[in-house]
Structure 1
Amino acid sequence: MFETNNSFVGHESRAAFKQLYLQLRQQEQRLYSDDELRELPDIHSGHIHYHEWKIRRQSSLRLAKYLMRKKSPIQILEIGCGNGWLAARLAGIEGSTVTAIDINGEEIRQAKRVFHKTNLDFREMDFDPEGFPGTAFDIVVFAASLQYFSPLKSILDNVLKCMADDGEIHILDTHFYKASELADAANRSCNYYTGRGYPAMAEYYFHHQIQELDGLNYKIMYNPQNLLNRLFVRNPFYWICVYQ
């Protein structure tokens, strides 16, 4: 689902990550059948990740509603699209053209097999701002994927190079931590991956802070720390929009 990493050096590291990631996803029961994928983010209440998908459904509906109010046509890029469920939903927005990329070939092939829309293009590739000649994206989406990129400001600066003058980057379903929380968060991740039998995965997971966005023009569209959101919405993830 969210596999690209700006910090990779060379094909060997990228290949190692892909192998580890797919094995872990299989163990975590995060690889879905074609029939299940067609229905995401809706999934049966007995599924191990049912509550996670309730949150992702909420985030995706909020983004789609926002984008529906945008100008048409609209060029969208999703980076780290995984099995493509969100890209397919965004392709349902009138006037949209969606490009969705990921280095995980197995899930990209599944996405191509399951979702057939003329305005939806899945590509197995790493992000490169020069990889889209002649295209200026209006919207770029990172959904549950930005934790696999570092340094944060560097990747966002690169993304802005292939965007329209009024383009926006939308970051969803990703944790942002306070400085005082970073050490504990890193330890939890290390312990989790070690407990799963994949300690090397901790090298590819990055814990970001809101302060890393300093110097960029951004707005917090949804703040999980807001008291009302904590009481009634209970979505733990920020929604952040970075403007061109």
Structure 2
Amino acid sequence: MHRLINDTAPNYYDFEQEYLYLRDKEGRIYSDEVVAQLPLVSKSHHLKNEWKIRGRSCKWLVNYFSKKNKPYRILEIGCGNGWLSNQLANVQNVQVVGMDINTMELEQANRVFTRANLQFIYGDISNVCLNEQFDAIVFAAAFQYFESVGKILNACFGQLKEEGEVHIIDTPFYNVEECALAKERSKVYFNANSAPGMKAYYFHHSTASLEPYKYKILYSPKSFINKVFKINPFPWICISK
């Protein structure tokens, strides 16, 4: 695991401890054997419905990037145990970098997934500058851990090629009116799971926060047909540099 050092970066220890405590309580700390098979899980898995959704999102991304049909560099921010980065590395002519500040899961990703076109690094895109540029940056169930939409997107644009894109999947976005209610629901949930400190690290973003940027919604859970079939409760958002 390559570690990006920045003396001015904040200390992430408190976040990591709070985050891992909650994930353990939710049953989201997996063995190497389980991680190696993700997004596939057993029929008896307590989060099988969630992994069905994430598996579908993964297929969308793999198909999308496969159609590029050219050498392509992808950065996944908040890669965790690396399962999605590993799946994206199946795309022909792709180089994938997974980045996170969660040391335990990054170490697991390095143990489980070893391939020539896949690398995992410790770092925060908001506080470091990589020595390379990417065609795409992916946030999968991770964008909600960044407080400022403007700050994180500007940091991403600095690491993207001219025609690069940011993809956000498996993350809730709300109407402005819904944000306060969603924030209160999260507060109740964190308190109920003895992880009240997570309130400081989990943020609720509105679609209005994306208005200054060139974005399109590649999948909308609010469309009529998707409401009927309930394919995925989260939007797939693509933001151009």
Q: Please tell me the TM-score bracket, short chain as reference.
A: over 0.9
Which of structure 1's runs of 4+ aligned residues deviate more than 6 A? none
* Residue from 83, 88, 96 that aligns with 1:85: 83
Q: Scaled by the length of structure 1, what TM-score is found? A: 0.93
CA contact (8 A) 2:76 2:99 kept: yes
Equivalent position of 2:145 in the other structure: 148
CA drift of 1:131 comes to 2.7
Partner of 2:147, secondary structure, is coil
1:234 aligns with 2:192: no
* Residue from 95, 99, 102 that aligns with 2:100: 102
Taking structure 1 as reference, are residues 162 and 76 closer, same or farther at Cα in structure 2, changes over 3 Å only? same
Q: Please give the root-mean-square deviation of Cα atoms over the aligned residues, in Å.
A: 1.4
1:40-67: CA deviation from partner (whole Å, max 9, x where unpaired): 0010111111100000000110111011
1:180 aligns with 2:177: yes
CA contact (8 A) 2:125 2:155 kept: no
Q: Distance in 1 between matches of 2:44 and 2:181?
A: 31
Q: Distance in 2 between matches of 1:9 and 1:68?
A: 35
CA drift of 1:184 comes to 1.2
Partner of 1:183, secondary structure, is helix
Q: Scaled by the length of structure 2, what TM-score is found? A: 0.94
1:120-139 matches, within 5 Å, as: 120-128=118-126, 130-133=128-131, 135-139=132-136
**Paired AA for residue 197 in structure 1:** S
Structure 1: 5+ residue stretches without partners: 1-7
Partner of 1:150, secondary structure, is coil
Taking structure 1 as reference, are residues 178 and 9 closer, same or farther at Cα in structure 2, changes over 3 Å only? farther
Partner of 1:106, secondary structure, is helix
CA contact (8 A) 2:216 2:238 kept: yes
The count of aligned residue pairs is 234
1:194-231: CA deviation from partner (whole Å, max 9, x where unpaired): 00001111111100011101111111000000010111
Q: Distance in 2 between matches of 1:90 and 1:43?
A: 18
Partner of 1:94, secondary structure, is coil
Equivalent position of 2:215 in the other structure: 218
